[in-house]
Structure 1
């Protein structure tokens, strides 16, 4: 296979900047479902050709941003590592020749799956970079007010969700020509939110049991027969984070008392426009002054589980600490036109409302 060569690193940076200025093209959940419902050779070729042009643009945009972050964040060792991953992935994509037949689709699919794996640890590595920044900041700087950093991280993670969605969808369509019933790539056309909530809750309770030795019950209410099209992996991640936060709050409230831990409640409501999932707890609530910080990436009430010498391959899922669960969950919700809101009653508990758009028509938000 003839491979186009990108020259030295200087010309690579020039190429990244050029591609970073190109227009991105968003897609909707409905389009992904309709297009992927017929994974013919022709459609897989069209999909690969689209990604061959689209992925370098999205990756280049993030690569350019990683070079010029405020407060010296670009120079932190962990951020430099992430930037190298993005530049390497850009080089791989731009070095790949035009896709014209089934064999080149196969090779391209293998390559983008490798890119997806390369970027698996981007979130903890970025968290480590932000931690390195916080250690070096002047103590007079209130890092909850670093708007430029928050806005960058919002754009960066929203873009990452989109890139992984596009790659994951293409790879799933290519690798599984006979998918499970109701599945179109990684989209479940008849996803049961109650079933996903049950699985996510069991995972969160397992983590809670491991950390504290006990875990509150989780009660789930809603129509067990209700289904709608969505990416179940996205929903599982969001519900897991919300339930995990609630379990931690309840457990820490009752841990030194004889009080029986009140259950966490999940209610699934089927609306005309939205499917809404409410996660309620009696964990004591959040101070009103703390609510604006919940969706920032530089804030957590727990000890950060990452250290400078962390082996990222062995970082265990913990109850809390990155300060990333809620803001990233909100981005996942917004990716397909939904949202996440948290309302708290200090001294009693917290309600989180996860709104999921059931229309499937909203375009990807492209930062």
Structure 2
């Protein structure tokens, strides 16, 4: 059914082009390359970047559009997934109808166009999450969501690809800033303080906790605030925010009806030779061993689903404590995007430690699906 709708949506010529570009090889880039290339945002470099993106984004977006039409268990036919697929097809059309980029004016027009593509895709994650929720309703009650490997693998590929697309577009657009912040090369901060980013992310997470529960445990951060390394602050903020948010919720619910003072969340930042490691520890009761394999799947959440199918996802942008079922798996993808990882260790009856490893070498290629 979804495939039929795709035929109806596209002319034969565009459909052939989607298949042609979807079969081409993607080209990965590293954090170090982005940093070195972006440190000289000359008109010539910006022109080369636009020419690369004109082709590369077409390939990456075509691949995702094709994959969105052939998902198992009927996921492709869910209304939310069809909406996402149409966004990808619209973006592919925009890219392929844009003429060859030959000079500075072409490059500036192209930059405005990909800016609009990035905005169009702002709500892809909650909309895909809604599609997965629509699938869950159909599959209930006798399905072990861990067994739906194809769905989890697809979503890992899909979200990792989205991280890459948004990074490439965001980096190119940011290089046009006539007054970039000190030590910033596009999205990359060459002297990012992980302690400082963790502090901001923790404050944001505590605000959400206050809003939900009326109070929030303290967060104590240990590490050298003067230590810096090159990374993307928005990526780190997202990951630490998600981990602290989970810890705050666990502690808050564990001690909600207790006379004891809720113990603080502890964040430790360690500066290693290969990795910068950030540990987020809580005393929120931990996760049962049987539940650990589920925490990195997309169809599992311990909280009530906050997605309301009546909400217009074009404007929905509220942050909740939990329930979407994709915070941890997507955080792990952000860590892996530049060669890091995320691990969760639990002591049931006591608490949880999350280890966020960030590669400080910066030369690992994007893990393209």
When the two structures are superposed, what TM-score results if normalisation uses the length of structure 2? 0.96
Question: Where does residue 180 of structure 1 map in the other structure?
Answer: 181
- SS where residue 300 of structure 2 aligns? coil
After TM superposition, give the deviation of residue 139 of structure 1 in Å: 2.4
Question: Where does residue 173 of structure 2 map in the other structure?
Answer: 171
**Aligned equivalents of 1:184, 1:323: Cα separation in 2:** 33
**Aligned equivalents of 1:311, 1:178: Cα separation in 2:** 36
After TM superposition, give the deviation of residue 260 of structure 1 in Å: 0.4
Corresponding residue pairs, total? 360
- SS where residue 87 of structure 1 aligns? helix
Question: Where does residue 6 of structure 2 map in the other structure?
Answer: none
Structure 1: stretches of 5+ with no match in the other structure: 1-6
**Aligned equivalents of 2:112, 2:345: Cα separation in 1:** 44
Deviations 1:252-311 (A, max 9, x none): 001011110000000000000000000000000000000000100110000010021122
Task: Report whether the alignment pairs 1:224 with 2:205.
Answer: no
Task: Report whether the alignment pairs 1:237 with 2:243.
Answer: no
Q: RMSD across aligned C-alpha pairs, in angstroms?
A: 1.0
Q: Give matches, 1:188-227, under 5 Å.
A: 188-227=189-228
Q: Give matches, 1:22-41, under 5 Å.
A: 22-41=24-43
After TM superposition, give the deviation of residue 144 of structure 1 in Å: 2.4
After TM superposition, give the deviation of residue 138 of structure 1 in Å: 4.9
**Aligned equivalents of 1:206, 1:142: Cα separation in 2:** 34
Deviations 1:52-72 (A, max 9, x none): 010000000000000000000
**Aligned equivalents of 1:211, 1:76: Cα separation in 2:** 31
After TM superposition, give the deviation of residue 363 of structure 1 in Å: 0.3
Tell me if the contact between 1:39 and 1:177 (Cα under 8 Å) persists in the aligned partners. Answer: no
**Aligned equivalents of 1:316, 1:178: Cα separation in 2:** 31
Question: Where does residue 365 of structure 1 map in the other structure?
Answer: 367
**Aligned equivalents of 1:256, 1:247: Cα separation in 2:** 15
Structure 2: stretches of 5+ with no match in the other structure: 1-8
**Aligned equivalents of 2:345, 2:140: Cα separation in 1:** 33
* Aligned with residue 337 of structure 1, among 336, 339, 345: 339
Q: Give matches, 1:1-367, under 5 Å.
A: 8-174=10-176, 176-312=177-313, 313-367=315-369
**Aligned equivalents of 1:156, 1:105: Cα separation in 2:** 28
Deviations 1:11-47 (A, max 9, x none): 3222111110000000000000000000000000000
**Aligned equivalents of 1:268, 1:102: Cα separation in 2:** 43
- SS where residue 167 of structure 1 aligns? helix
Tell me if the contact between 1:276 and 1:353 (Cα under 8 Å) persists in the aligned partners. Answer: yes
